[in-house]
């Protein structure tokens, strides 16, 4: 039996220029699956593990900046989407999450694969819709069409994010043999024009006057996409006004001239932080990795903080927020570039001197370091090919990269699931991104994150441009580096999660070219070949001694302070 309203979902998505659909097998969702599969504009992929499917769709949307569609059956299948949905919400990544459901009268009646799906993702979606179960009445047809359109518009509205469509479906689910599936190209599609946020000339003049009252402004950048035009604009603004710019590793501003890219190293290495205190803090972007930076700004707060955020929720991360400016960073830089200022050049130079000093300290350390994770990160980053995409798992992987810094002038874009900072979907996210780009896509990950998301590799679409580097210390090594857990008798059993798994077996299971090493000579020999183009994706497993790494990390922090 053909269900015209269900088929209209695919047509509306097509007319909204949505491209990617990730399906997970199931019976209740069969009409939706068939509609997307038979629509001429879509070539859906199917992934059996819903958690991996959701993170794969997240990776796709990270690259395209368009909503990817997720479709699953009723019951616990929908709950497996939750980690990726939460990540998408906090990372402001658009997703259209479609869950098939039982008709409402069968909820709580002990029917199979029936749970309370209405609003299942709670406050971690921008909006949730329960579509009508019966479509005969004209008002129900109108509601169905309106809510599908509204969901897509909401996912795309700034700040972008996930939206949930819960669709109860009655049997029968499948068309009769030979029954044609038709799509109505004339179905109603609701569009929305973007709004240009700007201030009046008077407001800009007031901001410029206030701006000129400060002598030690500092810019701190959170996570965001790589934008060459914004790097250029910020470079001109910073250079003219002599304002230091701190860029976390995930901010994608590592190619900015005179950028402060080693905030962790600088702040760990300085006992007297008072001279580094700003009087005006300007911020834009999402989360910041650096805990020393957050602690510094909370302990040495500026007189004012301006946060640039076009719309949506603004976090008071540094506990000193005084003004939210609802404009884009590009608009702000354009208007404020011409402000007349008398800022302190010595303050700018102080940060530059600290950056140079810590860069030299880092180089001196890696030259004598044993085969441990700081030096491994340094070597890998220096071998990364030009114009490539780098995904990082959470825990120590992203922190080590922040300690080392991204190589400059190589046009490398960084991505990491820092919305929730979980380890649960880094494989899948990187795979989804690699599917949507021709750039070489490298994931650097730890053993815990890699094995946790092993099902991310369980699909038939692994692209040849994918490279996975697993740093395997056979434990959750971060807990041995943190002051609290490392001092507890429960460390080895309850925090570090020792395991003897090897990624070689996973590489064989999923048909990846496999490389391994456990010393620098082998690593430096392998990396050039590892990054070469190939017909299959590649996996490099690097074995590290956990205890030696712990000792080396302590020496590194002591070296920064010396």
- Cis status, amide bond into 172, omega within 30 of 0: yes
Three-state DSSP class for 508? helix
In angstroms and rounded to an integer, the radius of gyration of the C-alpha atoms of the chain is 25
Residue 244 Rama label (left phi>0; alpha psi -120 to 50; beta)? beta
Q: What are the residues whose beta carbons fall under 8 Å from the beta carbon of 286, sequence distance 6 or more? A: 90, 91, 92, 222, 223, 224, 418, 419
**Judgement on whether residues 399 and 294 belong to the same structural domain of the protein:** no
- The DSSP call for residue 318 is T
Q: Which CATH number characterizes residue 345's domain?
A: 3.40.50.1220
pLDDT in tens, the chain (562 residues): 557 889 999 999 999 999 999 999 998 999 999 999 999 999 999 999 999 999 999 999 999 999 999 999 999 999 999 999 999 999 999 999 999 999 888 887 888 788 899 999 999 999 999 999 988 899 999 999 999 999 999 999 989 999 999 999 988 888 878 788 889 998 999 998 876 678 899 999 999 999 999 999 999 999 999 999 999 999 999 998 999 999 988 999 999 999 999 999 999 999 899 999 999 999 999 999 999 999 999 999 999 999 999 877 788 999 999 999 999 999 999 999 888 776 668 999 999 999 999 999 999 999 999 998 999 999 999 999 999 999 999 988 999 999 999 988 899 999 999 999 998 999 999 999 999 999 999 999 999 999 999 999 999 999 999 999 999 988 765 665 666 655 666 666 656 676 788 999 999 999 999 999 999 999 999 999 999 999 999 999 999 988 888 888 888 888 888 7
Q: Is residue 384 part of a domain?
A: yes
**Judgement on whether residues 441 and 465 belong to the same structural domain of the protein:** yes
- The DSSP call for residue 440 is -
**Judgement on whether residues 340 and 410 belong to the same structural domain of the protein:** no
Q: Which CATH number characterizes residue 484's domain?
A: 3.40.50.970
What does the pLDDT read at residue 176?
78
**Judgement on whether residues 507 and 373 belong to the same structural domain of the protein:** yes
Length of the chain counted residue by residue: 562
Query: What is the pTM assigned to this prediction?
Result: 0.93
- Cα–Cα dist 207/199, whole Å: 10
What does the pLDDT read at residue 80?
96
**Judgement on whether residues 420 and 500 belong to the same structural domain of the protein:** yes
How many Cβ atoms sit within 10 Å of the Cβ of residue 460? 8
**3 state SS for 139-152:** HHHHHHHHHHHHHH
What are the helix and strand counts (H, E) for the chain? 19, 17
**Judgement on whether residues 437 and 524 belong to the same structural domain of the protein:** yes
**Judgement on whether residues 373 and 312 belong to the same structural domain of the protein:** no
Q: What are the residues whose beta carbons fall under 8 Å from the beta carbon of 420, sequence distance 6 or more? A: 83, 86, 87, 90
Domain that holds residue 104: 4-168
What is the token pair recorded at 46? 């199917």
Q: Is residue 452 part of a domain?
A: yes
**Judgement on whether residues 78 and 206 belong to the same structural domain of the protein:** no
**3 state SS for 450-467:** HHHCHHHHCCCCCCCCEE
- Cα–Cα dist 404/528, whole Å: 20
Q: Is residue 187 part of a domain?
A: no
Q: Is residue 32 part of a domain?
A: yes
Domain termination site, one of 327, 353, 379: 353
Q: Is residue 63 part of a domain?
A: yes
Q: What are the residues whose beta carbons fall under 8 Å from the beta carbon of 64, sequence distance 6 or more? A: 19, 20, 436
Q: Is residue 193 part of a domain?
A: no
**Judgement on whether residues 441 and 413 belong to the same structural domain of the protein:** yes
Q: Is residue 174 part of a domain?
A: no
- Cα–Cα dist 490/305, whole Å: 42
- Cα–Cα dist 497/490, whole Å: 11
- Cα–Cα dist 208/327, whole Å: 15
Helix axes 50-64, 426-435, angle to 10 degrees: 50
**Judgement on whether residues 61 and 151 belong to the same structural domain of the protein:** yes
What does the pLDDT read at residue 310?
85
What is the token pair recorded at 461? 């679409």
Domain termination site, one of 353, 385, 400: 353
- Cα–Cα dist 480/551, whole Å: 10
At which residue do the structure tokens 């820092």 appear? 418
What is the token pair recorded at 301? 């707060």
Burial (CB count <10 Å: 0-12, 13-18, 19+), residue 562: exposed
Q: Is residue 500 part of a domain?
A: yes
**Judgement on whether residues 483 and 343 belong to the same structural domain of the protein:** no
Q: How far is CA 17 from the centre of its chain?
A: 23
What does the pLDDT read at residue 556?
86
**Judgement on whether residues 237 and 335 belong to the same structural domain of the protein:** yes
What does the pLDDT read at residue 173?
82
Domain termination site, one of 300, 319, 353: 353
Overall domain count for the chain = 3
- Cα–Cα dist 299/122, whole Å: 35
């Amino acid at each position: 039996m053909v269900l015209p309203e269900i088929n209209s979902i695919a047509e509306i998505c097509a007319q909204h220029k949505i491209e990617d659909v990730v399906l997970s097998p199931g019976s209740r969702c069969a009409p939706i699956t068939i509609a997307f599969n038979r629509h001429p504009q879509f070539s859906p992929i199917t992934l059996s593990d819903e958690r991996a499917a959701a993170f794969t769709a997240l990776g796709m949307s990270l690259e395209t900046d368009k909503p990817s569609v997720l479709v699953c059956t009723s019951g616990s299948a929908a709950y497996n989407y939750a980690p990726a949905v939460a990540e998408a919400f906090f990372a402001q990544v658009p997703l259209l999450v479609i869950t098939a459901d039982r008709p409402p009268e069968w909820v709580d009646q002990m029917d199979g694969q029936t749970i309370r799906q209405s609003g299942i993702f709670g406050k971690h979606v921008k909006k949730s819709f329960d579509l009508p179960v019966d479509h005969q009445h004209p008002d129900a047809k109108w509601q169905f069409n309106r809510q599908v359109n509204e969901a897509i518009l909401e996912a795309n509205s700034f700040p972008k994010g996930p939206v949930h469509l819960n669709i109860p479906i009655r049997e029968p689910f499948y068309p009769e043999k030979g029954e044609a599936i038709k799509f109505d190209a004339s179905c109603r599609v609701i569009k929305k024009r973007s709004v240009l946020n700007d201030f009046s000339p008077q407001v800009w003049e007031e901001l410029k006057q206030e701006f000129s009252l400060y002598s030690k402004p500092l810019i701190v950048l959170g996570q965001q996409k790589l934008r060459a035009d914004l790097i250029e604009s910020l470079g001109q603004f910073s250079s003219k006004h002599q304002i230091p710019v701190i860029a976390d590793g995930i901010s994608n501003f590592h190619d900015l001239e005179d950028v402060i890219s080693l905030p962790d190293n600088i702040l760990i290495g300085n006992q007297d932080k008072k001279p580094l205190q700003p009087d005006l803090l300007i911020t834009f972007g999402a989360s910041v990795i650096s805990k020393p930076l957050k602690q510094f700004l909370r302990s040495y707060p500026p007189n004012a903080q301006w946060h640039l955020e076009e719309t949506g929720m603004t976090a008071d991360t540094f506990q000193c927020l005084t003004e939210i400016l609802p404009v884009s960073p590009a608009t702000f830089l354009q208007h404020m570039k011409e402000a007349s200022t008398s800022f302190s050049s010595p303050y700018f130079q102080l940060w530059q001197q600290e950056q140079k000093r810590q860069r030299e300290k880092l180089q001196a350390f890696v030259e004598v370091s044993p085969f441990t994770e700081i030096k491994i990160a340094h070597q890998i980053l220096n071998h990364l090919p030009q114009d490539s995409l780098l995904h990082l798992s959470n825990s120590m992987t992203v922190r080590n990269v922040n300690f080392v810094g991204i190589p400059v002038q190589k046009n490398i874009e960084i991505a990491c699931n820092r919305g929730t900072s979980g380890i649960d979907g880094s494989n899948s996210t990187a795979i989804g991104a690699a599917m949507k780009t021709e750039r070489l896509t490298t994931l650097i990950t730890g053993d815990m994150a890699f094995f946790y998301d092993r099902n991310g590799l369980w699909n038939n679409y692994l692209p040849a441009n994918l490279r996975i580097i697993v740093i395997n210390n056979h434990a959750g090594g971060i807990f041995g580096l943190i002051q609290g857990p490392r001092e507890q008798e429960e460390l080895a059993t309850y925090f570090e999660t020792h395991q003897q798994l090897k990624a070689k077996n996973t590489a064989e299971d999923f048909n990846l070219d496999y490389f391994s090493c456990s010393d620098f000579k082998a690593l430096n020999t392998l990396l050039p070949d590892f990054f070469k183009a190939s017909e299959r994706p590649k996996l490099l497993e690097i074995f590290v001694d956990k205890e030696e790494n712990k000792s080396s990390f302590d020496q590194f922090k002591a070296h920064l302070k010396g």
